[in-house]
Amino acid sequence: MPFISRNPYTEEVLQEYPSHDWDTVEARLAAARLAFLRWRETTYAERARVLHEIATALREDLETYATTITQEMGKPIKQARAEIEKCARGLDYFADNLERMLQPIEVETEAHKSYIAFQPLGVILAIMPWNFPFWQAVRFAAPAIAAGNVVVLKPAPNTPNCAVMLRDAFDQGGSEESLLYNLFVEVEMIPDIIRHPLISAVTFTGSTRAGREVARIAGESLKKCVLELGGSDAAIILPDADLDRAVAQCLFGRYQNTGQSCIAMKRFIVDSLVYDEFVERFVEQSRALRMGDPMDEETDIGPLARADLRENLHRQVHESIEMGAEVHLGGAIPEGRGYFYPPTVLTNISPAMPVWAEETFGPVAPIMPVNSRYEAVQVANATRYGLGASVFTENLRLGEDIARNRLEVGNAFVNHYVFSDPRLPFGGVRESGFGRELSVFGLREFVNIKTVYISE
């Protein structure tokens, strides 16, 4: 089965790539291993130079890369540009900080000298999704390569052009060896690739179901893995929240990338004292969003990436309506070409409804009232996921207490939607996965944390 690049706005096939056979896989893994043996010997300064050069390549041809994202998975062009710029910033961050992050940590013991050193592991397999086809890969690859590893990327089947373009950008880094290799392989081949002796570790971003399988196979092979899985992030709006700010943040937090984000706000939990006003404002501003051609600078909502994704999203909405959800906006598949789904706002929600109990990957916003902050936290935590959550309040001490001590997530934000930042660790708990990407913690996920003890 080929990897097919299809424009979700026009529904036209842009390009097809044949799947790699096992001989091609073996050759690329061998090349990646040889590249690692050379790359791990480079100085910190050389690694930093290469990462900066990759960032420069992305910025210099930003429009081409952004257009590739938009045409292949439907992200509005202004958001695609932001994705490429974020990749460049991430690469620059690790270039600027890798030496500090990799410095040995001296520990005072009875030895003449003892310290903790950080050594790269080898070739890391990255199984990545389609919704942020550049950033998801760079988010892992930048710290992994900074640490001295080499990356083998298995992209999503519907974003092969992005993978090819990303490889092109990495090859412009000026390294003597390639640091990122693409594998266009069928799902059935992935277990054997994880088990392959030339693969040292694996990172996966995607569904919880698939993450369980990756973790099982990696565990059987005694290989380190990092999993960034699904999310059903809650946004708590307390009665003292600045509603102008809260609605604006929630709007972007729900509809960015047409709602196709693991850390998008997916459950809105609003104190009953401000519930009616929040719903009214949220519906009004959702209605004002412009849905259309993702290459149009004025477009806010593009098409979903694939037809099957739209079908599943509509199933979740339709089943929830049958269970009693009230539709304030949207809720129907529009006629015409393109895999569009309109901004959809639902109330009269019960926890058993699919739009609340399942992860919704699209522009659907269920809103539920609560009567206290204690109930709000309880409802927010009543999910099998644990990726991110936000709380909106003018009482920063209370907001910090809820974020730090009450919300059972890996990323807790006060008065802001959840986002990833190269300076901060990113990841989840429970069925949202384990391990961390970004920051010094992400860089140290794929190193050998080695004790060195020297006695006279």
* Residues annotated catalytic, as ranges: 228, 262
**Positive/negative CA dihedral, 48, 139, 68, 178:** positive
Letter for the amino acid at 60? E
* Residues 372, 406 contacting (CB under 8 angstroms): no
- Which phi and psi angles does 122 have, rounded to 5°? 145, -130
* Residues 109, 93 contacting (CB under 8 angstroms): no
SS3 268: strand
For the record, the structure tokens of 199 come out as 């693969």
* Residues 303, 339 contacting (CB under 8 angstroms): yes
**Positive/negative CA dihedral, 259, 261, 266, 271:** negative
For the record, the structure tokens of 162 come out as 């992005």
* Residues 15, 163 contacting (CB under 8 angstroms): no
- Which phi and psi angles does 327 have, rounded to 5°? -95, 120
Q: How many other β-carbons are positioned within 10 Å of the β-carbon of residue 445?
A: 23
Q: Are strands 123-127 and 113-120 parallel, antiparallel or unpaired?
A: unpaired
| Alpha-carbon torsion, ordered 209, 215, 216, 218, to 10 deg | 150
* Residues 134, 153 contacting (CB under 8 angstroms): no
* Angle, CA 101 vertex, CA 97 and CA 103 arms, to 5°: 120
Convert 102-121 into a string of H (helix), E (strand) and C (coil). Answer: HCCEECCCCCCEEEEEEEEC
- Which phi and psi angles does 404 have, rounded to 5°? -80, -40
